[in-house]
Amino acid sequence: MTRYIIRRLLYLIPVLLGVSLIIFVLFNVVAGDPTAVLLGKNATPRQMQELREQLGLNKPLFAQYLDVVRSAFTFDFGRSWSSKQEISQMLRQGAYPSLCLTIPAFVISTVLSLVISLGVAFYRGKGIDLFVRFCCIAGMSVSALAYILFFQYFFAFKLGWFEISGFEFGFPDFVPFIALPAIIWIVLSIGPDVRFFRTVILDEIYQDYVRTARAKGLSEMHILLKHVLRNAMIPIITYVVIQIPFLILGALLLENFFSIPGLGGITLNALNSSDFPVIKAMAILSSVVYIVFSLISDILYTFADPRVKLK
């Protein structure tokens, strides 16, 4: 396993080079001249030239690409074009509010969805199963924006049960501010999670080893928890772990509507102001985290199923 982990970490080098090249082409070649966006349509050629020199856009393309590669490996992304702040400092400041929201919401929604899925799998084909499936499909059919606006208006503004916007640093000061966005996250996540987990569990229930366990006289609940759940863990681990990198980006809509100063808000502001260094930093960061957690998911397979060998 050690050799496998080292080899996968070494794969990170060519992957980062490729990601850096794609990001560079998208933002420096395809997107055109950013100075025209930053200065507006009334900018003079002299103003555009001066801004290019300030931002380092007058350097050869290969030199600019090397800057992107360097930032990918050192996580030194320079300064934001709009706020002039160090991007690394901005990301550290934004990570705390984002993770305060996304980690509790993600953990609660995952555990709750798994429990519901085990319950409907146990009562498969019965009324409770049909009711849960109907609620999942109905919930997934409603736009996330509709949930945000309704919950914010009714529970925060009308009833006053939650804070309507803002954020306070430090535990437990931030809890009232993340409570409602976390509830919305859970409501949005339960539908697709339950449908996926239920499908995976039912695929295992109809396997031959389950019929053998029933023939031995084991109870249905024992079979479900001891045998079925364990054999269903590999697709469940894949589904859950691959979602974790996206927690780093925060919840774009939730952070924007609830004025939470997280990475989602930073990303949206960068998009609105054409702040390419921040956008490139978020793209590189998400790529690195995705690669690392894909490795973690492979390692977790060996704990879920001893038959899996990493070579």
Asked whether the predicted pLDDT for residue 302 surpasses 70, the reply is yes
CA 189, CA 186: separation in Å to the nearest integer? 5
> Which pLDDT belongs to residue 31?
59
User: Among 34-38, 159-163, 209-213, which stretch is predicted with the lowest mean pLDDT?
Assistant: 34-38
Asked whether the predicted pLDDT for residue 50 surpasses 60, the reply is yes
The better pLDDT of the pair 170, 308 is held by 170
Q: Which residue has the tokens 């934001």?
A: 80
Give the residues across from 86 on adjacent strands.
79
Domain ranges across the chain: 2-74, 96-304
Asked whether the predicted pLDDT for residue 164 surpasses 70, the reply is yes
Give the residues across from 79 on adjacent strands.
86
Residue 40: which pLDDT band, with cuts at 50, 70 and 90?
A: low
CATH class label, 96-304? mainly alpha
Asked whether the predicted pLDDT for residue 250 surpasses 60, the reply is no
| Mean of pLDDT values over 142-163 | 86
Would you state the structure tokens that stand for residue 144, as one six-digit string? 């996330």
CA 221, CA 229: separation in Å to the nearest integer? 11
User: What would the pLDDT profile of 7-27 be if each residue is shown by its tens digit?
Assistant: 777 877 887 888 788 877 877
Mean pLDDT (the chain) is 81
> Which pLDDT belongs to residue 125?
79
> Which pLDDT belongs to residue 83?
77
